[in-house]
Structure formats: structure tokens, C-alpha cells
Structure 1
Amino acid sequence: MLSPAAIAESRAGLSEIESEYIARSLLREAPTVAPHQTNDEVMQLLSERSDVVSLPVVENGLPIGLINRNIFMDGIAKPFRRELFGRKSCIAFMDKQPLVVSEHMSIQELSFKVVGAGGKTLNDGFVITDDAGLYLGVGTGEDLVKIVTHLQAEKNRLVMESINYASVIQKSFLRASREDMAAALHDYFIHWEPRDKVGGDYYFCKKFEDGFFIALIDCTGHGVPGAFMTLIMASFLDHILLEDNRRDPAGALAMMNRKVKIALGQIGEHNIVPIEGQRFAHSPDKEQSDDGMDTAFCWVESCKLIYAGAKTPLFTLENGATEVTVIEGDRKGVGYVDTPMDYTWTNKEIALSKGMRVYLTTDGIIDQIGGTKDIAFGKKRFCNLLVENSELPLVAQKERIMQAFYTYQGKQRRRDDVSLLGFRI
């Protein structure tokens, strides 16, 4: 049997690790008795071998039962039992239906069988045979629990290594946006906090000679599935903005919608598909995905901001104002099955003034449950925080907002990824 240290040091892939551990890896040699042997002989053997938990009964090489040490000793110790049963066959105290498994059975299948057999098998152990059903040895419940625990730890290690590296990849995709944001803005902040190391939120910024394009994206899901979606969206967005359409956020949303729907095969029957329509008109795939994103796309130049939103609002606060202006986006997300292929979003133009603050947030903040009443954080509370801290530098605003958010969340479970950005004109 391989030691826990050997398991921990393994760097094999998950499928290789599982294939290495079969019932044979739990094999322990144990003395056996035959049906003709007496209970006195069994007692003598168990007295000499304190390490034996269960004693297999084997006839012509085939296991026919298992004698549990504790059950046997308790039974034979009762008054007159030794005199009555001492010279009789050992099968009197034998479990006639022990768990018998093949040496090649996987640890996973074995663990299911042990659990299905109940606590008896965990205490007594099980018999391991070769392909012909001949006795090889025994396995114990203790060894099985140990190896299942270590295999689970190894699986978790492999998964966490993958997630940690995925986090590195996701952050590398964000680097260019951070650099362009720093080049385009003087007073700003970005807070990006995946719920599960990696996440479905994503921010994007690209600087041009005449302005910059900025977006905050909330993809379907969080964790690894959400992160995978962000990489798809980032790739598409980069390609979309190679065209001269950066001043048309609504048009960019429409292009993104078509790309996502076609790439993921999310074409409902109600969708209008201008090219190769018959190819997608009646999809028989019952496992069709329904993924996409909620987002706000903004083009910003010297005196105006053009905004188009897919279920993601824009918050603005003019210099000296005591109330936040909330500009709602369209109520359709990008790429989803129920979003038509030809759906058009709306551009909204906002005149910019010196000192105006602009904010975007994903719903991870707005929808978080917390507070004394266990209700959502909400837009009103968020807007009040923006007003209360409006005169602070943007980085200091972020610290105040996030501290208020964490306090409000309290001991409640985090519901989603949290992303927030703001900048001053």
C-alpha cells in the first residue's frame, strides 16, 4: 500500500492518480482459517496475533466468510460458550456474507460498496480476491478512509493549482486595461474582487488619441465558468474595437451579441439570423448553453460620454451636486438565447463637465444581502455612499465604499463577484 506521503508528492494528472489506486493497493496479508478448524484454534490464533482485526475463512482458496475479532471474543467469553463451542467449527461465529471485492476495483467504487454495506464493513473490513475469485488478502475500513481522504486532498490540490494558474491568466488579460486606464485618467479607481479566486467580472479600457473606451462586464456565473466567459468576451471585444466603431457603444454591443450567440450556438427559433439562417433555425441540442453578459460600454472624449448598457446602469455625480443621476441601460443582456440576433441597444449621450464623477458597478454590490434586515445592499444605499464621499479622491472613495459594503455584508455569504470603477473628469 502506498503511503500518504507518496500520494501527497505525486504530480500525476487526476485520471492517472485515480487509476493508480485500486482495491489491491489496500491489500493486507492476514492469517486464514479453514471451516474444519475449531473455535479454540481461532481463539489461540487471535491471542497470538493482536494485529488481526478480522480473520478470513477460506475453503479451497475461496473466501466463504469473515470472523470479526471483537464479535468472536465477546461471544466466546459468555458463560459456558467456550465449553459448548470451543471444539466446534469456526463458522459458528463467522459472518457468512462479508464484502468481497476484486483486486482491480477502483477506490471510488469500493468506497460506494463499503458505504452501501453499512458500518459492519467499516469495522470488519473486506476480502480482496483475484480475477478468478481466489483469496488474496483483506482490506480495512481504516485504510480505505485514509486513502479516500488523501485522494480527495490530492484532487483538491490539482484543482486549486489549476484555479490559481487560471487567476494568473485572467489577471494578465486585465493588465493592458489597467495600463490604458492609468494613461487616460488622473483620478480614478478600479476594484475587482472575484468571489472564488477567479470570476465572471471583467473590466476593459482602451485609450485612443481622441478619447478612451471603457467597459465593465458581468459574465454569466462566477468561479471557473465565469472566468472562462470573460476570456471569450475579452477576445471578442479586442477584435470589435479594431474597427472604427469605438464611438458607437450600442453598435459594439450588437456586434458582441452576434459573435457570442454564434460562437456558443445560442440561437433560439425567434432569433433573426441574416447569414446561414437555416443552419441555426431548429437546433436539436437539448443541452444548449444560455450564457452571456450584462455590461456597460462607454466612449469618453473631452466633452461628452456615450453610454450603452445591457442591464447595467451608469451613475454620474456632477461637481457640487447632492444627488446621483442614474442612467439605466436596456433590459436585454448580451448573447443570451432570448436576446434576438438583431437586437439593438441604445446610445445615450451625457455632457461632461469638469469635476464630474462617473461610476460603474456590477450587481455583486447592489444585490448583496446583509444588514440588520437581511436585504439587498441596493442602489439607494450605493448612491448615498457616492454622495457622502464625493469630495474625496477617487481611491479614498473606493476604500470608504468597500468598507461600508463589507460591514453591510457582515457574516452573510458572498453572493457574487464584486467589481466597481469610478473616475473624475
Structure 2
Amino acid sequence: MSVTFDAAVSPSAGRRFRAYTARHLDDLTARAGLDEAERLRVRAVAEVLPFRVNDYVVDELIDWSAAPDDPMYRLVFPQSDMLPERDVSRIAELLTSGASRQELTAAANEVRAKLNPHPAGQMELNIPSTGEEPLNGVQHKYDETVLFFPKQGQTCHAYCTYCFRWAQFVGEPDLKMSSGDIDLLVQYLRAHPEVTSVLFTGGDPMIMGEGVLNRYIEPLLELDQLESIRIGTKALGYWPQRWVTDPDADDTLRLFERVVESGKNLAFMAHFSHPREMMPQLATEAVRRIRDTGAVIRTQAPLIRMINDDADTWATMWRTQVRQGMVPYYMFVERDTGPQDYFAVPLARGYEIFRQAYQQVSGLARTVRGPSMSATPGKVCVDGVTEVAGEKVFVLHMIQARNPDLVGRPFFAAYDENAAWLDDLKPALGATAFPFE
């Protein structure tokens, strides 16, 4: 199979990657029309939660005439009320008083500690190594799948404001998950023949150049037990140049071809939060080139208040994805970490958004599942709201579970219009516990 190059893309396609970080925030938020006091509060939030964006997102995706209310602006720029008022004011005071970097970091760390930096027991999922300590950066939550966090892939082309992996990017070593040892991963996989899929995640693995990515992937092609290799990435939305005009774009696509030719499914887990990310010609071209290697692109994103909490937005995303040859896969619920209180959509409303969007699409888009919570016991899907024996209930089931016997078994929770996460729910119909408890 051969991928053809088509240079007929946006004039900005060949630009070199340029990142903007917190030190650029004041100028960028001024462009959004924020006054000096509001810009200070945004900078205070950015002391706690990571900020990074690039010129492609800034120039091609954000509608600055609609900022700061533009959904793509909200997707990447901190909001002053994302964190509790008391915490924002305290850090803003430190900034204006000329506090030292040590004082600012200490205050930021206090706030971070309250934000559940590793939801669903993330750090406890690290697999045992050959020594006494767990192997940081390799997780085995479900029998068939191992997650691998490559050391060089622990950043992104831009950060989402709602990111549940924000703790990877704040510069605190104790909060990071990563591994640079592919040999230990291979050793673990050989000892666990039940594993049929490896998911590269991060950060964003596609921040790595082809040479580094190749060193991680090539050894896996020799493992007959593996049926699929998955790559989780936001780069199709934030830097599609990665597969079109970057210096190693063609080499990366050749690597994808080798994975497919080895007889394994290469599943490209693309994270699209809003339809606008798929509109540029450059993004369309990147999708085409990836699909031409034989890789399958599956799409997923969380439901986020003020960014995509609208049925028409999701229906447009799913239809666009099908038209471009991608497979809608998951609508997630915002995880119980970081600024969840700011971004979360209640489960009842989330289910209605999902249902109304689902009604608008053909069967080809109804491969999507959701709203789904990636919680401690597994992936819990909200199937609906109904009445049983006079009691209004949520109907749920587990798409994946640490205990495989629970997969696919329906269970019920008492209806609560304000519940936004599994921990907010209580058993229904006289039950005293959920099946996974």
C-alpha cells in the first residue's frame, strides 16, 4: 500500500510548530477582550492547571470575534472561574505581590492536591516490575488491554482545559506516569498472553518523532498474541501537519503501513471535542493519509459544559466523522478530576444530549457508545432513564470492568438529576450495593 502526497492544503500548512505557554497568556487573553483584572485571574488559574496552545489552533480554529465565549477558545484557554474563588484570589494576590516561584509553586500544589490528580486509582494500576516497585507508565486494568505511557510522549501539541491527565503536565515528578523501557513491556506481554491490545497514551504519543515512535512500536510487531495496537491522540485536531507537511510525516505513515502489513489492527483513537477541529482542509488531508495506510480511525471525546454540551454539535461531529471515513466510538463523561465542577454535565442531561444526537444520525454513526464513565471499577455506560416498580431509575451497564463477569450486566441507580459521576449515585430498587462493590 502506498500513501500519496497532496500539497493542495492550507497556505499555513507548512509552518513550523510554535507553542504558546503561560508566559504568552497576557497578550493572548487581551486579544480575547479580557481586561487587566480578568487576565490576572486567568494567569492565576494557569499557575495550577497547565496551559499550552500552538499557532495552528490560535490562527485556524479559534473564532476570536466570539472569544472568550467561542467553544474552541474555551477548549484551550483557562477560565478565571474554573477553580474555587478563594484559591484563584489567593494565587492572584501572590502574583501581584511579587511572590517567589517557590511560594507560587507551593500554593499551586496545595490547590492541585484537592483536585484528585489521579482519578480511578491511576497510580495503583501500574503493573509490578521485576523489582519491588511497580513499573510506572504501564497499566493493566482490563484483561485484554495494556496501556503504555511512552516517556517522550508526555506532552501535547496543545492542552485541553478539561483534560483528566492534567497532572502529567504540571512539572511535578510524583504525579507523572511514563516509561522508556519497551523491553520490560514486551517481557510483561509475553508473560500475559491474555493481552491482545496495547494502547499508547500520554500525553500524546504523536508528539514523538517517527524515530522514537518506531523504537516503541517495532518490537510489538513480533508478538503474535497482539491483535491490535492503539494510539490515543488529539493531534488530528491540534496539529494535523504531523501527517502532511512535518519533515517525518511520510516516514510516520510508512510505520503505520508496517503495523498493518504485520497483520495487526492499527486503531487510531482520535480525540475530537468540536466539529470545527475537522473543518480545515489540512485536517481532512491528514485523515485521508492515515486511512490510506490501512489504519482505522476511531473517535472519542468527553461531553463538556460550554464547549460541546449540545445534541446538534455531537450529531454534526459524528456525521462529519462518518463522511471522512472515521468510526464514532465514545462519548465520555467528564472525569472526577481537575475542574470537574466547572465542566461536568449531569448524567441525566448528558443522556438526553446523547439520545437526541443519536436520533439524528444513520446506523453507520451508531457505533458510538455513551455517555460512559471511565471509573474505578470500569467503563460504566448510562443506557437510559426509566421507571421500575414505581421508582425512577438510571439504567446502566459496564462496557469494560476489572471483573470481567460484570461486563454487559445491567444494573440500576436511583435517579438524581444533579449526579455527575458514579460516586454521586446510589443503588435503586432496594439494593444496598452496586454489583461492583
TM-score, normalised relative to structure 1: 0.25
**Greater CA radius of gyration, 1 or 2?**
1
TM-score, normalised relative to structure 2: 0.25
